[in-house]
Every structure is written in C-alpha cells, then in structure tokens.
Structure 1
Amino acid sequence: MTHRILHLSDTHVSRTGPDEDGVDGLAALRGLLYDVRRVQELDLVVVSGDVADDGSEAGCRAVRSVVGEFAAERSIPHVYCTGNHDRRDGFAAALGSGHLAADGSPLGRAADVDGVIAAVSDVAGLRVITLDSLVPGETYGVLGRAQLDWLAAELASPAPAGSIVVLHHPPMSMDAIPYLKSVVLQDPEELGRALAGTDVQAVLCGHLHHQLAGQLSTKPVWVTPGVITRIDLTAPSTLVRGVLGAGATVVDLGGPFGPIFHTVHARDPQAGTEVYVYDPVTGDDITED
C-alpha cells in the first residue's frame, strides 16, 4: 500500500498578511501550490507548524482557505500541527484538532492530553499522528510525558499502512551548525523511545526552513524547507541567513524504496534574494561584506 503526501511547513501568514520581515507568506503559499498543481496522485497535504506568523486565528484561517481549496480539488485531507509562532487558541479556533477532511469537516480524534493540540486520523489505512511541541514564547520545542505516553499507546498496535508522525520541531540537530541544538526538539531521545519498534514510516517536521534528513531510533526524520523563506546554509555556521524561495516536499511512502523525499521549489524569479541575516546567539542583525 502506497501513499503520496505534499509536505508544507512554515507558511507564517499573519492577520495583516506579511510576516515580521515583510514577506508575504500568503503569496508564497499560493505561488507554491500553483507550481505543484500537476503533481499526481496525492493522498494528503501536511502543514507542519508555524501556520500563522503572529499566532492569529485570521492567519490560520487564511492558510486553511488556500490549502483547503487545493485539497478539496483533489478530494484529499489536509492536516496541520502547531509551531513555535502559533498560539493554541488561534490554531484551535481556525483548525480544530488540525485534522480536516477534504470538505473541511473534522477528521480523526483529538488526543486526551490537557494543554496540547495533538490528534490522530486514518487516511486510507495510513495512521497520521500530529504532536504539539509548542512552548509559548520559546523557539525550541518540548513534548511532555503525557503526550509521549499518548503517542506510545496509539502506536502500540500497527495500522494497515503504517504510521507517520508530524511535529514542528525536528528531533535532531547537526554539530556543524551549533545553534541548532538550542532551537530544535529538546530531549529527542524521549520521542525516540516512543517510536522504537513501531510501524512509523517517517517523522515529518519543519521549523528550520531548510531540507534536512536524519534518523531517530532507525526511523527516517525529514525536515521540509519553509514556504515563506528558506535558510541559506552557505552562510557562516554562526549566522542565520534567510532568503526568498518557497519549497515543499513530496513524500512517497511504501513501495520497494520508500520512504522517498522529493523537494520541490516554487518558480520564483526572486528566489535567493536575501531577506535577513542575524546572529542567533545575540539576536543582532548582521550586515555582511
């Protein structure tokens, strides 16, 4: 049994449109979805957090409208999780548990865990689980014991086509980029223990605004590039350079070589244009020579 997923992340749409850097996330999202309109046989759209740059209900509703129209045209569900820019009240008001059928109606079942927005649904035999790693006011992510226990209980028995887990903060980092450890999921080994020996085919994340692959407890972890901007890793490892250029991933599950992660980019004539450079330790804006 195979499934094909369009994996988006970091749309960063606000109630006023542009994000805090003046980039129009809604325009970037529309442009990206237009450019992937001919991708065939999609079964699901996933948006892995930072739906609204300002955490607003209006920002979440705007993303839901655009992604929902794309999904409805293909008669497929669309699923969202919270990111560090999101607020749980705005997210819930606009997106409920984050699991929506093609017609926009609620899908699946919310986790019975206080204070988080996590849920599970079935997409043609594929179990789709979203986790809530949001820590209000912080850039890094955390999964509490109650949420991890819920996840382990959900994964205790296999699903017909296996499972995917979606969360915003990647449960991994790279030594070559020291600041990543301070912004990703903290204590990732806790999540690894919950995933070990289960039917999880892939862990899908966002947050970093660049593509990155790794493993956690032998499970493939994929970080999709951001929709609103991408991080240019040719910058010095001590700096964060954001540039224009929306990206996403087509994820193919099942088959002899799955999972396969295929990055797609919008046809943006301004792609690569620098938006910001800053020092992640001090927060200072940097002017490069």
Structure 2
Amino acid sequence: MRILHLSDTHIERTDAPNAAGVNASESLRLLLTDLRHQRGVDAIVVSGDVANDGAPEAYTAVRETLSEFALRELGGNIPVFYSTGNHDERQAFGKVLGSGHLDADGTDRAETVMDSADSERAAVSTVDGYRFVTLDSLVPGMVHGHLGAAQLDWLREVLRTPAPRGTVLVFHHPPITLDVPTQRAFGLRNPAELADAIRGADVLAVLTGHFHLQIFGFLEATPVWVTPGVVNRIDLTTRPGTERAVRGASASLVELGGPSGPMFHTFHARDPRAHETVYELDEEQTRSLITRMGPGADRA
C-alpha cells in the first residue's frame, strides 16, 4: 500500500496570493508537477486545512485538481481521502466533498459515515484490504484539536472488527509534539483518550498534518506521521520561542505492508523561491499568538 499524503493546502476562494503573499494554488500545482512521475500510488490522503477560509470554491478547486492529477498523471481512479482541519468549515466541506472519501471520478465511496449531532466528518473506506478511517479533530473557532467522546466511541466500534490488512487513521491535529510552544498549544488536546480508543486494535499508522513540518513519533505503540504543509513549511532553526514560516510545498509517501513498513518519505517541490521567509514571529509575538488562539479565540 503506497499512500501519497498531503496536508494544509490552504486553498483560497480565488486563485490569488493569500495575506502572506503566497499563492496556495500555485504551491499545490508546483508540488503535483514534481509528483507526476510517481507510480503504484494506491490512495491519496489530505489531512486537513483543505481550504483556508472554508469557501466552497476552494474545496471544489482542490477536488478537481487532485481528481485530474490522479486520473491523468497517476493513471487511475485512485481514491482521495480528505479530513477536516481548523481552517475548514464542516458544512462547505460536506457540500463539496461529501464524506471526504471520494474516488478520483468524484464518486463518494465511504462504507460507513459517522452520524453526529455536531455534523462531524468521520468515515470509513477499504482499499485492497486496508481500512482508511478519517476523523474530525476540528474545534470550530479554535486552532487546537479535540476528538469528542462520541467520535471515539464510534471509532472503537469500527475497530472492533479487524480489517484484512490493518487500519490507517487520518485526521488533522497531531497527538504528538516536539518541545515547541505553538505545537504544545495547538496540537490534539486529548491524545491519551485516543490512545485508549485504539489500544490493541489493528491501527498501522496515524497520518496527520497541521504543524507544517515533518515529525515521526509514537502514540504508545502506534506510529504517528506528521506530514509537512503544501502552502508553506515551518522552519525550526529559529531561536527557541520564535516561529518562522518559509516557502516550499512538501508531501509524503507512506508505504505499508512491506518487511520494513511502515516507511515514510518526504518530497519537496522544486520552487525557485523555496526557503524565502513568509513570516517570522519573535518571542513576544509567538506568546501573543498562543494567548490569542487559546480558549475562546477566533479562527486562525
């Protein structure tokens, strides 16, 4: 099983630069141009922040772009699995992407969809014996993530029956963090509850995004991969307590089932402006960001 893992496309409602001067649509196009030679891809995953402001036009643009890429460049009706991130809006997401589990031709392929009073977007599909479960860690109006009790109970029920080749979980907010203030503040708030829900189950890997840089770690015994962002990446060579974002679209290839799996490989688009600073926050600005985006804050 070869999974092309993207995250944080942050597509705008129009094909124009965002407030930081980055054209997210162009970043995605540059990345896909360099990924067109990949072969044997079985599934594409987009782990949240699909749209920058929840606009239906942005979801449509991503759906059409990835469908064309799968059909014309990768050469098949490859399924694309989307999950929600903190920038996404559930109603618009569902209107355009349905369950979030689509074949490249646009057909909704979900086998099971969570029926939630909060309209959470969680679903299940199987590809060649591998079960893909997308979860919804979005907390409306907040940057951090949370998986509610009802969703975790639903997940337990799904995992009660093992998949033929195992399960892949996909959601936005990582349940692991480096010793970085923004990561500690903005990651998944209840990783221990998730660990309890999947303990002893057939989960092969957890695929997430949100941090705009690659990290590998474990949630107890389960491998967790954080793929870097498409729209930009975070550069951790800055002084402690500061933050810098730079240009450069990235994605990952996840390989399951081999003797050395799971394996994770990162791709970086050939961008003539790669590594240019998009924004930089000093210690005071970083503290202010964390305070402002904490409980009760507006959308990021």
Q: Structure 2-normalised TM-score?
A: 0.91
Other-structure match for 1:165: 169
Q: Compare 271-280 and 68-77 and name the one that shifted more.
A: 68-77
1:10 maps to which of 8, 11, 22: 8
Give the deviation of 1:21 after TM superposition: 1.6
Q: How big is the shift at 1:202?
A: 0.4
3-state SS in 1 of match to 2:60: helix
Give the Å deviation of 1:19.
2.8
Partner SS for 2:195:
helix
Equivalent residue letter for 1:153: E
What are the Cα deviations for residues 113-149 of structure 1, in whole angstroms up to 9, with x where unaligned? 2211111111111100000011111110010000000
CA distance in 1, matches of 2:69, 2:199: 34
Partner of 1:134: 138
Q: Which residue of 2 aligns with 1:40?
A: 39
CA RMSD of the aligned region, Å? 1.2
Give the alignment's TM-score, normalised by structure 1. Answer: 0.95
Does the CA contact (< 8 Å) of 1:12 and 1:19 recur in 2?
no
Partner of 1:78: 80
Alignment of 1:196-211 (within 5 A): 196-211=199-214
Alpha-carbon distance, 1:217 to partner: 2.3
Aligned sequence identity (%)? 52
Between the aligned partners of 1:143 and 1:44, the Cα distance in structure 2 is: 24
**Which one of the candidate residues 105, 123, 136 is aligned to 2:127?**
123
Determine if the alignment matches structure 1 residue 223 to structure 2 residue 226. yes
Matches within 5 A, 1:172-191: 172-175=176-179, 177-191=180-194
Question: 2:95 maps to which residue?
Answer: 93
The residue number in structure 2 matching 1:287 is: none
**Distance in 2 separating the partners of 1:75 and 1:235:** 42
Identify which range, 224-233 or 274-283, moves more after superposition.
274-283
Q: Which amino acid aligns with 1:218?
A: A
Cα deviation code 1:82-127 (max 9, x no counterpart): 0000011111111011000121110112112221111111111110
Following the alignment from structure 2 to structure 1, what is the Cα–Cα distance between the partners of residues 289 and 146? Answer: 22
Kindly provide the CA deviation profile for residues 159-178 of structure 1, in whole angstroms up to 9, marking residues without a partner as x: 01111000000001122x13
1:26 aligns to what SS in structure 2?
helix
**CA deviation vs aligned residue, 1:174-212 (integer Å, no higher than 9, x gap):** 22x133111000011000111111111100000000000
Letter in 2 for 1:225: P
In the alignment, structure 2 segments of 5+ residues that lack a partner are 291-300
Distance in 1, matches of 2:143 and 2:176, equals 15
Alpha-carbon separation, structure 2, partners of 1:114 and 1:130: 17
* Structure 1 unaligned regions, length at least 5: 285-289
CA distance in structure 2 between the partners assigned to 1:72 and 1:199 by the alignment? 31
Cα offset, 1:264, TM superposition: 0.5
Pick aligned residue for 1:236 from 202, 219, 239: 239
Alpha-carbon distance in 1 for matches of 2:40, 2:268: 19
Letter of the structure 2 residue corresponding to residue 98 of structure 1: G
The answer as to whether partners of 1:20 and 1:53 remain within 8 angstroms in 2 is no
- 1:25 alignment counterpart: 24
Shifted more, 228-237 versus 17-26: the winner is: 17-26
**Alignment partners' CA distance in 2, 1:161 and 1:72:** 25
Structure 1 Cα separation of the partners of residues 130 and 244 of structure 2: 37
What is the aligned counterpart of 2:159 among 142, 155, 172? 155
Q: Deviations over 1:3-51 (max 9, x none)?
A: 0000000000111233332211111111101101111100000000000
Instruction: Say whether the 8 Å CA contact 2:66–2:104 is kept in structure 1.
Output: no
Distance in 2 separating the partners of 1:191 and 1:68: 31
Aligned residues of 2:12 and 2:18 also touching (Cα < 8 A): yes
Q: Secondary structure at the match of 2:152?
A: helix
Match of 1:280 among 282, 286, 296: 286
CA distance in structure 2 between the partners assigned to 1:64 and 1:237 by the alignment: 38
2:107 to 105, 108, 111: 105
Instruction: Report the residue type matching 1:129 in the other structure.
Output: V
